[in-house]
Structure 1
């Protein structure tokens, strides 16, 4: 894995650190706006009732079809990237297209059209994470690998999708209508695509010793076949974890706004405030969880923080006070920090660099197919039959299974492995 060593000339090392931080900022914004667009539908659903009258099943289907195309696109883009040895052009195209397709949702006059727009949006968004994390891991120092990947994937989505989106989207919908809220999503995406084209490099600016160059060059040329990737224990476990954790996450973000307004009777403003607490937790745990895992290990961090995540959907059902619920959610909405571990960091520390995008796309894709596509649809249908609280219990069950699966992982954190060897 690429990293900076003490033999790196001071000027190049300084340039590499600047590039690492600049890349983190750009990819933070790119993936953050992916989730801004993805979350928008959940926050706008109460305002769309007059035009669409969406049932819980239809709302779940809209989330599910985006997850389906997201999954397929992620797997294809990851494999294509590793074969071509290029990531930047795929990332730019994906950012431009998801912005266009998100805006198109505001043009639709019926459920079928909205379904098509969400499917196209998922096709574009699915390529972003494998490309972004592959670029980030190559530019990251070992001591900051987990933290950088957590900020990129967890905190970015939390800040823009969890904190900014509820307030901005609800305000625009109330002031100008829900269609305008979709239209404005095109602007940040196009700006970010231009910045990526200007400042992101295909390879980070690093100079290393001859032995390290030979070692990492050999690793980079080692491209495992798909069947060999599927024989790696950590990859298989991470795929199973992704299925269950995506069920937890997508079910929560899809049905919580509707649950708070229709079942608990919260006003749209109160709902927005509670959902903002989810965003605060998302930002906090998005970098804290992987940062802590750099020190205590990926496995114990995943087990401990997921155990807390089990409690989040249960609190949504049983806590009536908006203020208390928001506070509890800040301390229990820990799962998004764990996403970085099983979707990016553990695979990056398990597979050769030449197969990294393939592994990331595979784990994300399988997780989105099972948890992102089937999870919300099943939760929506079950909620139509037995009440919307059913979706919350399904989400809690998904997180509980993750806790059990995590015990089967093999530790990959470099600092932890070094301490073990020194004993």
Structure 2
């Protein structure tokens, strides 16, 4: 079956997570993604644990569906190969520090002069302009500088880094959105363009409630633990045998939830009458509800809320997640066979297209696995010195 991005050729000059994740999203939907790696080890993520059969599990997850070639971009032959690739490509993605691609002679202006239809996506820590443009920007740093770490963690503690690479992953997502937007614009203009995405701004985009609140009140958003800035009750509660989440903040759901919890009297309490009241008195409400949650098991509560049409669910660990019937029915755990790591599993694609579905078609490549193949496609001999 055809995929949405059949025929689209993408050159992936990226390493680590943000850029490779962006390229993976395009590869999952059928783009031919050629991952260009450097001699002497390639993408540094190849050395990131845990390992299976000597291969990095993280690298394999977000580099599936790609072909790998090795090019020495400091050599004339390597640059020539890259230029030939870019001439026939639709998209190029890079996540060097701003200025590095230009020094290598493979910046946007140089490649667009040879291929005006090229969509060139740059992902960096702080963007291609501004006083911080040349700074390195790891996920940790941009979580700290975007305001994200300042609002995470317990109310009475210090700032926390989210234990997920949210700046990297969201930058990869915004990069893919930018690429697809530029490709759509190309249908009208006939020309490609430079897409500029940063980890800093991607992390800021995640904070819609905080931005809205600050712009409206001028007050710096405080750490509020797991509470929600605009909804209550809307958080995780301990049960008799574990933990569960309840989202019963809407005005029509709150009385139903209170009845299930045996707290009907709270509905008429002026502290909890309206949504804004409940947000203002969230700590008091949570303390009262928590006593009730401890009287029954998670499964019992979830079944009761589900029957009433109130969003609720258990807090599941990853073993539970990856064996959950909903997750499995949606093909979010996919078998994959790697030439070195052997049979394994990877995440499925989160974007489901009915007529042109994406998916996992091939495992992550071995370093330089497709160098000869790709060089031949651009008219260079398999033994060319480009990869040395």
Tell me the TM-score range normalised by the shorter chain.
Answer: under 0.3
Bigger RCO (CA 8 Å, 6+ sep) = 1
**Which of the pair is proportionally richer in helix?**
1
**Which of the pair is proportionally richer in strand?**
2
Question: With structure 1 as the length reference, what TM-score do the two structures score?
Answer: 0.25
Question: With structure 2 as the length reference, what TM-score do the two structures score?
Answer: 0.26
